[in-house]
Structure 1
Amino acid sequence: MTSVTAHVIADDAEALAVAAGLAEAFRTEAPLRDAERRLPYAELEQLSASGLLGVTVPADHGGADVRQETLAEVFRLLASADASLAQIPQNHFVYVNVLRRQGTTEQRKFFFGEVLEGRRFGNAQSEAGTRHVQDIRTRLLPLPDGSHELTGVKHYSTGALFADWIPVLARAEDDNLYVAYVPRDADGLTVVDDWDGMGQRTTASGTVRLDAVTVPADRVVPHHLTFQGPQLHGAVAQLLHAAIDAGIAGGALAEAAEFVRTKSRPWFESGVDTAAEDPLLIQRFGELDLQVRASEALLGVAARAVDAARAVDAARDELTDASAAEASLAVAAAKAHTTATAVLVADALFEVAGTRAALDSLNLHRYWRDARTHTLHDPARWKIQHLGRHVLNGTRPPRHGLL
């Protein structure tokens, strides 16, 4: 549970400066945290104290309300240093956004205050053994006193172990989706640290068990209303995932370049004195840099498309189908590209660095393990499918939280 006093960040420039400083601080022990699966409690307290968790709180509630372009860059910076640490707050911002869209005035006042004080939101949404990812079987049932009872089992609950509040996705009696914001120490709620993924090892994306957990009525938000009209919920969530992948790619490329400059030997046929002078390596690094630059450019385009749609929403007090679709498609393009880039560059690190880079003690394989694990969240092939449908037939993407 958070026990720090949080700074309140004033604007986009400060948010980026704070993120860059934290990234450098987190980078130092990232290989050791991964190798030993040392959970980042201290680092998350630093994150809370920094004020970064509150940067999307609206200005009329005391927050900086930064652009999505800024938020994406914050995540890219953090992921370039430690992809697990960057993923942990992804759901935090998603569920701040849920409150922004569907929370009551009282709910926004309370929870935005919590966020500005450094409180962390986790996540309990995905379930295992169901027909598909949208098949949510956790139930939110009414009680005679007007409160609710929450029962179910969640998996891949990134951030829950470190959270002050755990937003739980559940279906009510009417089968509609709601989000219940549950205190981490609520009776009947258990967080199990059973995540054993090969990558993103310190996200603690384990199991949340809910055994007749009582939830007051004022802690429940009607999430299904989000998808009854144009929405940016999915675009914002996927933008942050794309930023994490772009960060992994950039971190892997920087690590590879440093390794080649300082540790690699030139190939004997190259006729040069250092590996950094090898023309074939120079060519390969140029190709990889081009790929990373393209991913970062698409990430920026996507973030600006989301910002543009949000601006239309603010000006007209309603989101349009056209602007929401453009944002979703731009994010889909960025996510598909960053998915490929993260895996490609993390793998190419070994190609350019050579045999010594494969030593387990160096833990350079964490970039590939993190990239391969994180990019499994949702299939890029379906994002490309929606891009194709739109460019060929003008079909707008569907309204759901994964696009």
Structure 2
Amino acid sequence: MAAQVIADDAEALAVAAELATRFRAGASERDAERRLPREEVDQLSASGLLAVTVPAGHGGADVRQETLAEVFRLLATADGSLAQIPQSHFVYVNVIRRQGSEQQRKFFYGELLDGRRFGNAQSEAGTRHVQDIRTRLEPRPDGSYLLTGVKQYATGALFADWIPVLARAEDDTLRVAYVPRDAPGLSVIDDWDGMGQRTTASGTVRLDGVPVPADRVLPHHLTFQGPQLHGAVAQLLHAAIDTGIAGGALAEAAEFVRTKSRPWFESGAETAVEDPLLIQRFGELAIQVRASEALLREAARTVDAASADLTDDSAAEASIAVAVAKAHAAHTAVEVAGALFEVSGTRSALNSLNLHRHWRDARTHTLHDPPRWKIQHIGRYVLNGTRPPRHGLL
């Protein structure tokens, strides 16, 4: 697959803005028909955006996290589902950066610069909790492995060239196995039927004795033995998606009121945009969205600062800043996407208009991990100086 190579942060933002405009045009139809965005994902790969975190020494732009968060926010204003698909891609690029050998980095960075995509096979259903991983890497006499398990909510796997699989080794430590999409024994099933994020293809991955060479397995457990930003980076992108969904919903609500709504007869206004109560409500919603955008930028800058000087304290500051942004954005996305109907009136509820896709996307995506636990960690940090735990969800 031929892909452009993006040179710097400014180019990454320009490309993301152009793609967001392009993707917005068909977002409602794709959602209504549950038409998977294969062509759009190919365009994303060809644009070079999926390689923007490759280090400069390996030929990439090595953009700031502030830039990456803005890329995701822009894409999510257009299509919340499409923006979700590459989230795990960047998470597992980050694992290579942190835990890969020089040889592994050279190989996979080359793949990324050529437009290759990483999927995700992480979560499992029916276990005690989200970190109860039961997929196993069984060692073979030649040093390679056999990979066995079942993964669900595998966003991006259907569109991937490589599927990073979270698994336990023989000693029960956590590893990531990078498996080609066409590996024998691996199947990806498009059985996702969520009410929102309908076109993410977040289905099931089955692994039936999949052979994995030793040099395709990374020691992910080492990520959490010292100060780390793995969870902060992953959650920053989720916060960017929620913030983008909120912004997209507000923009569509404003357009609907400007072009299709009538004023309430008691307002005395000639047009809906002159209705003082609608003006008041749009002002309140805009404050919420702008606050989420500001918190997202602050969190991203805090992550960038921690990347430059990683310590227990800087990692904690980054995780807390991201937790604040994510908790606020989750609330904002659901509130604004729901308020779209409040300000737009009865006609906005027509199924044929599909304006409810914003709320369905917001409500579905914000279930990824509970903001109530983020607020607990924020409170403990502020009140007692307790650093947040080291795991991939904070």
Q: TM-score, normalised by structure 2?
A: 1.00
Aligned pairs, number: 394
Alignment partner, residue 390 of structure 1 = 381
* Per-residue deviation, residues 149-197 of structure 1 (Å, max 9, x unmatched): 1000000000000000000000001100000000000000000000000
Alignment partner, residue 226 of structure 1 = 223
Alignment partner, residue 183 of structure 1 = 180
Identity of aligned pairs, percent?
A: 83
Alignment partner, residue 315 of structure 1 = none
- What is the distance in 2 between the residues matched to 1:145 and 1:391? 51
Report the 3-state secondary structure (helix = DSSP H, G, I; strand = E; otherwise coil) of the residue aligned with 1:203: coil
Alignment partner, residue 240 of structure 1 = 237
Report the 3-state secondary structure (helix = DSSP H, G, I; strand = E; otherwise coil) of the residue aligned with 1:210: strand
Verify: 1:371 aligned to 2:362, yes or no.
Answer: yes
Verify: 1:358 aligned to 2:346, yes or no.
Answer: no
The Cα of 1:126 is off from its aligned counterpart by 0.1
Verify: 1:147 aligned to 2:144, yes or no.
Answer: yes
* AA matched with 1:380: P
- What is the distance in 2 between the residues matched to 1:207 and 1:272? 53
* Per-residue deviation, residues 241-299 of structure 1 (Å, max 9, x unmatched): 00000000000000000000000000001111100000000000000000000000000
Q: For 2:126, which of 129, 137, 162 is the aligned residue?
A: 129
Matches within 5 A, 1:47-126: 47-126=44-123
* Per-residue deviation, residues 12-57 of structure 1 (Å, max 9, x unmatched): 0000000000000000000000000000000011000000000000
* AA matched with 1:153: V
- What is the distance in 2 between the residues matched to 1:178 and 1:248? 33
* AA matched with 2:68: L
Alignment partner, residue 335 of structure 1 = 326
Report the 3-state secondary structure (helix = DSSP H, G, I; strand = E; otherwise coil) of the residue aligned with 1:146: coil
Alignment partner, residue 316 of structure 1 = none
For structure 1, which runs of at least 5 residues remain unmatched after alignment?
A: 313-318
Q: For 1:202, which of 185, 195, 199 is the aligned residue?
A: 199
Report the 3-state secondary structure (helix = DSSP H, G, I; strand = E; otherwise coil) of the residue aligned with 1:175: coil
Report runs of 4+ in structure 1 exceeding 3 Å deviation: none
- Root-mean-square deviation (CA), in Å? 0.4
Alignment partner, residue 298 of structure 1 = 295
The Cα of 1:311 is off from its aligned counterpart by 1.1
- What is the distance in 2 between the residues matched to 1:103 and 1:215? 16
Verify: 1:321 aligned to 2:318, yes or no.
Answer: no
- What is the distance in 2 between the residues matched to 1:173 and 1:145? 15
* AA matched with 2:354: N
